[in-house]
Amino acid sequence: MKIGVIGGGAIGLLFSYYLSEIHSVCLYVHSEEQLEIIKEKGILLEKEGQMKSKSIPVKIFSEWHGEEDVTLIALKQYHLPGMISRFSSYSSKKHAFLFLQNGMGHLKYFDKMDGEIYIGTVEHGAMKLDGNHVIHTGLGVTKIAAFRETTVKFHHFIKKIQDESFPFVVEDDYEQMLIQKLVVNAIINPLTAILQIKNGELIHNPYYFELVKRMFTEIRESLNLQNDDKYFKHIMAVCEQTAQNDSSMLRDLKENRPTEIDAILGYILERAAEKEISTPVLEVFYQAVKGKECRVEDNTTCQKLYLQ
């Protein structure tokens, strides 16, 4: 199977490496610098102290024309608005897309695209060290569900892509799958980003754990979660499994990159506003992360927002 992977971040590098073990994979990146280092040295995967490298085809994103059977979109949520028109231009009923974003903001773009659309949530731990170097910090699964599909083609895709060393799990309901990941991200990411702590401290420090409980209460009401005990236990399990990890949002702020706060907490705050639900704790952490982002972005932009 021919697979395109768009995005040279940690997830793009991780998927490109593992999927190229069986399939024909081409990675599409945005910078010439990253293109050259991958062409020269391949993708370097570090796992449990061992290093492996693999050479794969790599191109600049502008060279993507939808020629592969499936294209994995491994971009951050905030990059999608500028990319959707290109995906739409080259999408067809023969093509399939697998979106691997946090949050739920990307769902609104899909009516502009033809072809099959699948949605995935990634539970692997991955950290990018260099343009071609990714650390697989924790083995997990990729959950995948169909948003718009032909049943036969979707199951054929799952059968072809399945691999014991890099497993995929099929979910029946894409919305419930995304909400489960959203709830985890909405608590772990902003809390660790602002408190500047490892994930495990959220449940091992009683004062931080109190914040976890208060945020969860507001999220539960905003999203009208059923079986909330299951969701809370899942948050606890993820904190334990990734106890020594920095969250992606904390890494984004440390490395002076924008975060996905709008796609995560922003989405929940919109749902809360529709129901006129009070969310003081969520709003505090949303504003705090946005304030941190102002140090990342051009200061003039922040000043303009303040004056509006």
State which fold the 2-172 domain adopts.
Rossmann fold (3.40.50)
d(CA 17, CA 47): 12
Region class of 5: left (phi > 0), else alpha (psi between -120 and 50), else beta: beta
Query: Domain limits of the chain?
Result: 2-172, 177-307
Amino acid at 157: F
- Count other C-beta atoms under 10 Å from residue 83's C-beta: 16
- pLDDT, tens digit, for every residue of 30-58? 999 999 999 999 999 999 989 999 999 99
108 annotated active-site? no
Residue 75 confidence (pLDDT) above 60: yes
Confirm whether 2-172 and 177-307 share one CATH topology.
no
- In CATH terms, 177-307 corresponds, of 3.40.50.300, 3.40.1190.10, 3.10.129.10, 1.10.1040.10, to 1.10.1040.10
Which pLDDT band holds residue 250 (cuts at 50, 70, 90)? very high
- pLDDT, tens digit, for every residue of 157-181? 888 888 888 999 999 999 999 999 9
- pLDDT computed for residue 89 by the predictor: 85
Please tell me the total number of residues recorded for the chain in this structure.
Answer: 308
d(CA 40, CA 238): 36
Which pLDDT band holds residue 114 (cuts at 50, 70, 90)? confident
Residue 224 confidence (pLDDT) above 90: yes
Percent of the chain with pLDDT over 70: 95
DSSP E strands: which ranges in 129-184?
133-138, 142-148, 168-170
Helices 174-195 + 267-274 axis angle, to 10? 110
Which pLDDT band holds residue 301 (cuts at 50, 70, 90)? low
d(CA 140, CA 123): 5
CA nearest neighbour of 94 among 73, 62, 63, 68: 68
- Judge whether 60 and 35 are in contact, CB under 8 Å: yes
Which pLDDT band holds residue 298 (cuts at 50, 70, 90)? low
Mean pLDDT across the stretch 215-239? 95
- pLDDT, tens digit, for every residue of 180-223? 999 999 999 999 999 999 999 999 999 999 999 999 999 999 99
Identified catalytic residue from 76, 128, 143, 181: 181
Residue 82 confidence (pLDDT) above 70: yes
CA nearest neighbour of 65 among 34, 83, 91: 91
DSSP 247: P
